[in-house]
Structure 1
């Protein structure tokens, strides 16, 4: 079969863009076939040595009496299936990697492989929807007499791929918005509970632990943040650094202001209970102002809805018969 015959067959099947679609599909298949070989991460000799040492230590511990069934204290992620594609799925720059991790943490994804999983989902959705677009165009052109136009063909192929690529990013941004709103709404209640704990004789660290337990059912995102702060302080990290990281993860300006107040209160030796009392009252006032702002927006929104869904039918009912009579009179006059 000659090349011209193959080209004509592709045009009959896929339309004018048939040869280009076939070349794109062939290129995509070749890329998918070579990706595992190109992206396979070579094992580091030092990591091999460390793994062998850990294996020998584990075997030696298992042979000792009383050490059978010892559990691992940390999850090193050695069973991660995306580990060999880390060079492709993770940013090469440390600053970009740090920003990506902070972005995922704001959405509540704290795993060590969250960035890698996110980019893997992006890649898989883009390739999968691209294949669905190609299948749709091929099926349509094979079953219909008139093939799709070249512009519609490109949109049908590339549109789903673009949507699949940006859908995970939209989902993460939506999660960040919902999580930020939950933290902002629950922060005044958390401050009130923290003030009660401090005035009852608990330290700030113990009060944070208590508040994290009490907020699990009502504000799980804020409870998780307080629990993270408590664990980091228990691990021996510097308290100002832990609080600044908490403000950065939350993305709420009120939390950042609270962190500043707590750090200054600790540095200058002022009363933490007094600072909490003043700041909790301020946060309650801000929450009331946000509620009043939302309530003041309701009349405007109701006015727009009324104008869109009430006025047009009312005009049709009132003016419609008059217009109908005018049209009938005009027809009768034209016949005369």
Structure 2
């Protein structure tokens, strides 16, 4: 009787495994790979796991709500990853990251001979970290991108102002700034704006699209001032010169603010790391001498 029950359990397990295998094969066959003809090259880390991402992104686009896909698309646009990953591909990256980090956590818990409950908690914690890590990486990339834009904006404004004062139109001045200016996120966005204008978009529409893509208050202020100056017939060169001086002043003020915050930020590392080591070095010989004297007495 026991042997019969054991054979029945083995048969059910084997049948379940075969059904799951056939289901996975059907999902893989159903998936359609994404087209990357006009996309930027992938990072090296994503190329390794891209076959799995390519399969998952097809099913993600069918399962995930539209609101979540729109939110991820906007976040990718603000981080400058719009032509690297689509929204469904980014969610597939989150799923793969969740599985990898959760598996690594479970393997680590097994190596440490943890109990079953601890293994489950470590695996769940790894899955949560793996799911949110791509989002944190994307936010960090956006912060670095915004800093790069603020750093290069005064230089671009100076070049555009000089070109306008030399007699070029605003479009020609921006083209010269893109060609001669420093490389970075702002140069890429100005270059994209010029391509949109070549395809038939008006200058103001291209500038508004630029401000919407970057979602930066300095860029929005620049576009608003240029739009107002053009509608009122004011001199674009004078407007750009005033904006450039203002941005440069704000940049120096921001640098002074960071310099004044540095001593306050150094208090934490000093109290946690430097002061204890200093006290140990000073008082250790005194403590050893005191212990030696008490022993002799």
TM-score (norm 1): 0.68
Counterpart in 1 of 2:90?
Answer: 118
Distance 2:63 2:126 in 1: 25
User: Which residues of 2 match residues 269-284 of structure 1 at below 5 A?
Assistant: 269-284=233-248
User: Which residues of 2 match residues 29-40 of structure 1 at below 5 A?
Assistant: 34=23, 37=26, 40=30
Matched, 1:319 2:296: no
Distance 1:243 1:28 in 2: 57
- Shift in Å at residue 198 of structure 1? 1.1
User: Which residues of 2 match residues 258-297 of structure 1 at below 5 A?
Assistant: 258-297=222-261
User: Which residues of 2 match residues 50-61 of structure 1 at below 5 A?
Assistant: none
> Structure 1 residues 35, 103: CA separation in 2 closer, same or farther (over 3 Å shift)?
farther
Among residues 212, 224, 230, which one is paired with 1:248 in the alignment? 212
Among residues 117, 120, 124, which one is paired with 1:154 in the alignment? 120
Root-mean-square deviation over aligned CA pairs: 3.8
- Shift in Å at residue 239 of structure 1? 3.2
Structure 1 alignment gaps of length 5 or more: 7-22, 43-73
User: Which residues of 2 match residues 69-148 of structure 1 at below 5 A?
Assistant: 75=37, 82=54, 85-89=57-61, 94-111=66-83, 114-135=86-107, 140=111, 147-148=113-114
- Measured against aligned partners, the alpha-carbon deviations of 1:142-179 in whole angstroms (never above 9, x if no partner) come to xx8xx522332113322332222222112211111111
- Measured against aligned partners, the alpha-carbon deviations of 1:186-230 in whole angstroms (never above 9, x if no partner) come to 101110111011111111112112111223xx3321110000111
SS at match of 2:80: coil
Counterpart in 2 of 1:53?
Answer: none
Distance 1:32 1:239 in 2: 56
SS at match of 1:178: helix
Structure 2 alignment gaps of length 5 or more: 8-12, 40-49
